[in-house]
Structure 1
Amino acid sequence: MPIEIDPPQIENLWKLNLVGIVDETYSPEEKLAVENFESNIICIGSTILTNPFAVISDISKAFLRIGINFNSRDYCRFLWFENSNLNKIVTYRFKVVMFGATCSPFLLQKTIVYHLEHNSDPLASQLIPHFYVDNFYVTEVEINVLGINWNVTHDSLSIKSSQYVCKNECLHHHLTKRQVVSIVSSIFDPLVSTITFPRFAIIPGNCHLHIFADASKQAYGLAVYVVTLCSSNLLLSKARVAPRPKLSIPKLELTALNLGSKMAKSLMSNSALAFQSCTLRTDSEVVLHWVHHNKCTDVYVRNRVKDIHDGEFPSKYVPTKENPADLVTCGVSFKTSE
């Protein structure tokens, strides 16, 4: 059973001084693991699009296979009715990692990595970069990869309108917290009607990355293109809500370019993709002046310019009308995307 009745004596409790406080005793390796957790999904998604063949697998009931240390189970208590008796409440403890907890995907990821690192098979270490929790799973005709349907017969990816229609219906009624979380957390379900496109969209050859960044009052984001001598293809895009308190448009443009620099580091460090070079592009001349001259005394600007310089990727200008990232920050209808 994944749960057990809590013993009468509670030995471990959360300490208030630990809530919301970063534990400075973390080793550099542990901090790096947290930072790399998100970038791993970017590399996996890119690899799927840039290789002629793709292999997937799934660990069934993965979270239920990870036990919680007996001495740590007091931290995972919850109240429930005993034998469906609404008048009697009993305390239970989880014996395995909880599905749905914020930390659960990370715990699953690190557990898999731990066992692969301690496996004597030489192939084990090669599998580590290709795992992202258990987001790859197989069906009979189609495979769901990161929330996008993959038709293995035609080797095409598709986004179906039904992925959002059922959620959109609840907008006409009173929303519950669970419904809101369900909609917001659908990171890989873009809010558009059905679109089908080939999975293997990158033509092999001398490939170069061009990352376009843009920002508006509502959002900032980027669009990543792979360019060869005879083709140009969209690899991925990313958008984020503009932070509060509100920043000026130039600072938001700089934030977008900094996001592009971080994306470039993740993609260029993935040896499986083997891109020859990477160029950052923005339509903000103010941002380019900050990056190229590095004389601004504003702390916010100076810190992000430093991050961009650390990436060592050239930053160049692109006219606003030719910047595809403008669609990310201003929005685009389904008809336009077709």
Structure 2
Amino acid sequence: MIYQLAKTPHLLRVYSNIIEEQERKGFIERIDDNARSPSVHYIPHYPVKKESSTTPIRIVYDCSCKQSPSSPSLNDCLNPGPPFLNDLCTILLRFRQHNFAFSADIEKAFLHVHLNEVDRDFTRFLWLSNPTDPTSPFVTFHFRVVNAVISYHLHQNDSATSRDLLRNIYVDNVVSGSCSANFNLRSWASNSKQLNSVAQSHSVVDTKNPVKVLGLWWDTHSDTICASPNPDVTVFTFTATKREVLKWISSIFDPLGLITPVTITAKLFLQQLWQLELKWDNQLTEELCKTWYKIATEITQATVMPFPRQCTVMPDTATLHIFADASPQAYGAVAYLVQGTQSAILMSKARTAPLKQHTLPRLELMAAVLGARIYVFISTSICTTDIFFWSDSQIVLSWLTSKKTLKPFVSNHVSEIRLVSTEWRYCPSADNPADLLTRGVSFDQFNSSTKWRHSPTWLSSPSKWPTWPHAEILLVQADADEEVDTPAVDTTKSPSIGLHYLIDLTTFSKLSKLLPVTAYVYRFIHNTRQPSSSQQTGPLTVSELT
């Protein structure tokens, strides 16, 4: 590591300055090399570059490093205790509620609590005695302080401010509230000119714009957020392999799923590579490369698309709407906050369909479950007056209202949904915004879609909401595999063949087309069991269609 730093003298100087600053502030101390201790441990360390106006480089003390695969690391020997880290998406959801928002960085957040003297020898590390000479002998340091559990100190200073901070701090980043526990806040950024002016007068304002907030980029001037203001274009230069494709896809950070309709195409492409059983480092074929470069280009364009940071003016009086949908390729759900005539996307989640094929109604049911889980997640961050669930699958809606005994797969999913809500509404497929994230769209389609950004136009007018035509629903076996016959079954007879072996439900886009076909199949079955005098002929009757 020393020789690598020596190749860049400026980097070596910055690295040394950080260690000197830590020693000057009492975070670390130099110890006698001849000091004896019954148990010691030396921590390896290395530099990591970071995009920061205050700390362009940081030192990582790797407590997870092992001397050998069979040797424990320092972290392995510690009791980690319960996790205290707030959920990143939860903080971002609350961040989007405020009229005026700010972000700040806690200075040296993890270097404020003293370490017990008997434990300090387990935090030893080596550094150059003369940083200007990479060949100089090493000297030994150890830590005098330890990574502080900030939440503990906030609990000790109970107030409205500390309680708000407990909910809105992630590692050393504050995105709402203020601090009062002897931690200095710096790198202030806000959409409020007054707050920026105060921060500038104290020399703690972040002059960059946009600024990074928990992985997203926030333009404080326009008050918008995006996935990346300067996307990585190296995708167009590297040799396309399955490994590189996965690496590039993993670098796209979109925790709220704002650009899911575009990014889902990359996940579907990766799934295709798995099905082709390609090796990790084998170059993709020319055709696959063209497909991948097109997908990567679309995603690169989507990452710079701005979305309003503030999703509603008064979230306490807004209504939450969650749309679910599925296709043979993927399924997902998207949530919107609606207040009066204003609506905005809140978050979305999507999954590629399992390689083990499921019927489309089952995938639609899985999408409904995902929608219910999204609501449970959102409800921990945002308080809303009403919640409405929407699906364009009338088969799923019939399952949710059915009192019949269903097969375990359907029954388990329906039970989970009912724990959250039994009120689901029908949404025509053409108006369902979740349809976009189930099949993937091009950037141009995504950029021009107001339905994705602001939900269907009728959502802000309850009088125009579509209704579910219950009277037209066929409450027989929509998918015969999903209902359980209650009478005892004679196991000596051959098993019955379900209706789904005769009719492929996935080929019907409308119930009005499926209904008469199903009725004719049932008429045929009835006629084969009856004498000619009792057989049904002519047009379908109302009783056959209901």
Normalising by structure 2, report the TM-score.
0.44
What residue number does 1:204 align with?
A: 314
Read off the aligned partner of 1:236 and give its amino acid letter: M
Superposed displacement of residue 63, structure 1: 7.7
Q: Does 1:255 align with 2:366?
A: yes
Distance 1:181 1:282, change over 3 A: same
Q: Find the partner of 2:236 among 135, 147, 169.
A: 169
User: Are 1:184 and 2:295 counterparts?
Assistant: no
Alpha-carbon deviation of 1:226?
Answer: 1.5
Say if 1:42 and 1:266, in contact at 8 Å, map to a contact too.
no
1:52 aligns with 2:52: no
| Partner residue in 2 for 1:297 | 406
CA contact (8 A) 1:157 1:197 kept: yes
| Partner-residue secondary structure (3-state), 2:384 | coil
* Residues 327, 360 of structure 2: 8 Å contact kept: yes
Residue 339 (structure 2) aligns with: 228
- Quote how far apart the aligned CAs of 1:212 are: 0.3
CA contact (8 A) 1:146 1:188 kept: no
Q: What one-letter code is carried by the residue in structure 1 that aligns with 2:167?
A: P
- Give 2:390's aligned residue: 281
CA 1:133–1:219: 2 relative to 1, 3 Å: farther
Distance 1:244 1:303 in 2: 21
| Amino acid across the alignment from 1:124 | S
**1:11-30 mapped onto 2 (5 Å cutoff):** none
Measured in 2, the distance between the counterparts of 1:200 and 1:210 equals: 17
**SS in structure 1 opposite 2:328?**
coil
Specify the alignment match of 2:458 in structure 1: none
- Quickly say closer, same or farther: Cα 1:286–1:275, change in 2 above 3 A: same
Q: Tell me which moved more, 301-310 or 276-285.
A: 301-310
Cα shift readout 1:85-112 (whole Å, capped 9, x = no counterpart): xxxxxxxxxx9xxxxxxxxxxxx9x944
Higher deviation after alignment, 154-163 or 252-261: 154-163
Cα RMSD between the aligned structures? 4.3
Structure 1 residue 269 corresponds to structure 2 residue 380 = yes
TM superposition score normalised by structure 1: 0.67
The aligned runs of 1:1-338 (5 Å cut-off) are 4=42, 40-59=87-106, 111-121=149-159, 123-133=161-171, 139-140=206-207, 141-160=209-228, 162-166=230-234, 168-169=235-236, 172-174=239-241, 176=243, 180-181=246-247, 183-188=249-254, 190=259, 191-193=299-301, 194-204=304-314, 206-270=317-381, 273-312=382-421, 314-338=423-447
TM-aligned CA distance change 1:169 to 1:225, over 3 Å: same
Structure 1 position 118, deviation (Å)? 4.6
- Looking at structure 2, the residues matched to 227 and 120 of structure 1 have their Cα atoms a distance apart, in angstroms, of 34
Cα deviation, residue 243, structure 1: 3.1
Tell me, in whole angstroms, the C-alpha distance in 2 between the residues paired with 1:315 and 1:134: 41
In structure 2, the CA distance between the partners of 1:292 and 1:188, relative to structure 1 (3 Å rule), is: same
Work out the CA distance in 2 between the residues paired with 1:227 and 1:219. 26
How far is the alpha carbon of 1:59 from its aligned partner? 4.4
Task: Indicate conservation of the 8 Å contact 1:221/1:259, yes or no.
Answer: yes
- Alpha-carbon separation, structure 2, partners of 1:42 and 1:9: 36
Against the structure 1 CA distance between its residues 47 and 276, is the aligned structure 2 distance closer, same or farther, given a 3 Å change threshold?
Answer: same
Runs (5+) with no aligned partner, structure 2: 1-18, 20-27, 29-40, 45-65, 74-80, 123-142, 176-186, 190-205, 260-298, 448-546
Give % identity.
30
Q: 1:116 to 1:298 in 2, by over 3 A?
A: farther
Distance 2:370 2:237 in 1: 33
| Greater mean alpha carbon deviation, residues 206-215 or residues 120-129 | 120-129
The one-character-per-residue Cα deviations of 1:50-94 (angstroms, maximum 9, x if unpaired) are 2211121234676899999999xx9xxxxxxxxxxxxxxxxxxxx
- 8 A contact 1:142–1:152 mirrored in 2: yes
Cα pair 1:192 1:334 within 8 Å, conserved? no
Counterpart CA distance in 2 for 1:322 and 1:204 is: 26
Taking the aligned partners of 1:283 and 1:226, their CA distance within structure 2 comes to 20
Where 2:162 maps in the other structure, the secondary structure is: helix
RCO comparison, higher one (Cα < 8 Å, 6+): 1
In structure 2, do the counterparts of structure 1 residues 174 and 242 end up closer, same or farther at CA, with 3 Å as the change threshold? closer
What is the CA-CA distance between 1:201 and the residue it aligns to? 3.9
Following superposition, the deviation at residue 181 of structure 1 comes to: 3.6
TM-aligned CA distance change 1:122 to 1:202, over 3 Å = closer
> Distance in 2 between the 1:326 and 1:10 partners?
48
